[in-house]
Amino acid sequence: MTTTENPTAHGSGNAATDKFKSERATSDTSVERAAAIYKDMLEALAGIVHKHEVTYDEYRVLKQWMIDVGEYGEWPLWLDVFLEHEIEEVHYNRKHFTGTKGSIEGPYYVPNAPKLPSKCTMPMREKDKVAPPLIFKGKVTDLEGNGIPGATVELWHADEDGFYSQFAPGIPEWNLRGTIEVDEDGNYEITTLKPAPYQIPNDGPTGWFIKSYGGHPWRPAHLHLLVSAPGKRAVTTQLYFKGGEWVDDDVATATKPELILDPETNSDGIAEVTYNFALDPEA
Ligand code: MBD
Ligand code: FE
């Protein structure tokens, strides 16, 4: 894992690339399907080149940029920000799911986070507590609303500086990461921190790309979740905060109206919100 003095796109990119490579990707795509996708892909690219009369200089800049993205380890970042949301939407629609909506996984998921009881506080440092606490509670159910006792809620999110443990130096390995085991009724009550709006790493080629078209690198404040249960489709999703900055202009196009939290202040003066997850049966 790359460690440097200051977190950089290069450092987090290399960490994300190493993590992705640790499980070699495969798919059972047929030759016929590969041929159809390849043909359409080249046709789409040809259409762009002709429509915009792409120049030789632009072509060479593209080639250089693609080399740079690889060398900085930023393919997981770039692909998850700019393409994953389309894959996720197709996946959900094709299987006719009706349970809780998914959203993109992004580059910073790590499996096997330490187990935590149904009522728990996320692992955090003293310095993380400058962020306001958030009580996040609810129930994991089937499509009929029955609680699922064996379910787990994996939660991971950035600290107040926008860094994810294992992808920036100097953060304890499992900081703000956990696998929460729901109680016998499917309930959980997690105390964590309200995350802040988040800039994707932008001091490397993904950032140059965004700058080149006058865009911004911001994502709304978000929680990442992976909710699983025996015999159910696991849902990877994200939750956002009502009225938050960038909710309507996410660089990763990963928000959905069904995924927006609206916490209320409880009698202890702490932000608290209930969100239930309904899981589809296994496909
Ligand atoms: C993130 O935290 C994230 O959620 C996505 C989708 C891309 C980059 C960083
Ligand atoms: Fe994220």
What SS3 string covers 176-235? CEEEEECCCCCEEEEEEECCCCEECCCCCHHHHHHHHCCCCCEECCCEEEEEECCCECCE
Bridge partners for 181 per DSSP:
152
pLDDT band at 7 (very low <50, low <70, confident <90, very high): confident
Ligand 2 centroid distance, CA of 109 (Å): 9
- Ligand that lies nearest to the alpha carbon of residue 168, given by its number in the listed order: 1
Q: State residue 112's pLDDT score.
A: 97
| Cα end-to-end span (Å), the chain | 36
Matching residue, tokens 């085991």:
181
Query: In angstroms, rounded to a whole number, what is the distance separating the alpha carbons of residues 221 and 238?
Result: 10
pLDDT at 5 over 70: no
Instruction: Give Cα separations from 208 to 4, 60, 90, 197 (angstroms).
Output: 21, 15, 29, 20
- Ligand that lies nearest to the alpha carbon of residue 157, given by its number in the listed order: 2
pLDDT tens digits, one per residue of 125-182: 999 999 999 999 999 999 999 999 999 999 999 999 999 999 999 999 999 999 999 9
pLDDT at 3 over 90: no
Query: Which protein residue has the closest C-alpha to ligand 1 atom 3?
Result: 106
Query: In angstroms, rounded to a whole number, what is the distance separating the alpha carbons of residues 160 and 128?
Result: 6
pLDDT tens digits, one per residue of 66-120: 999 999 999 999 999 999 999 999 998 888 899 999 999 999 999 999 999 999 9
Ligand 2 centroid distance, CA of 92 (Å): 20
pLDDT, mean of residues 41-69: 98
Locate 63 and state its tokens.
Answer: 């080639």
Q: State residue 198's pLDDT score.
A: 93
Query: In angstroms, rounded to a whole number, what is the distance separating the alpha carbons of residues 267 and 283?
Result: 42
Query: In angstroms, rounded to a whole number, what is the distance separating the alpha carbons of residues 147 and 229?
Result: 11
Structural domains of the chain, ranges and CATH numbers in brackets: 1-283 (2.60.130.10)
The pTM for the full model equals 0.95
Torsion angle in degrees (nearest 10) through CA of 82, 84, 90, 95: -170
Query: In angstroms, rounded to a whole number, what is the distance separating the alpha carbons of residues 166 and 162?
Result: 13
Query: Which protein residue has the closest C-alpha to ligand 1 atom 9?
Result: 200
Percent of the chain with pLDDT over 90: 95
Pocket test for ligand 1, best of 156, 177, 200 (most atoms within 8 A of CB): 200
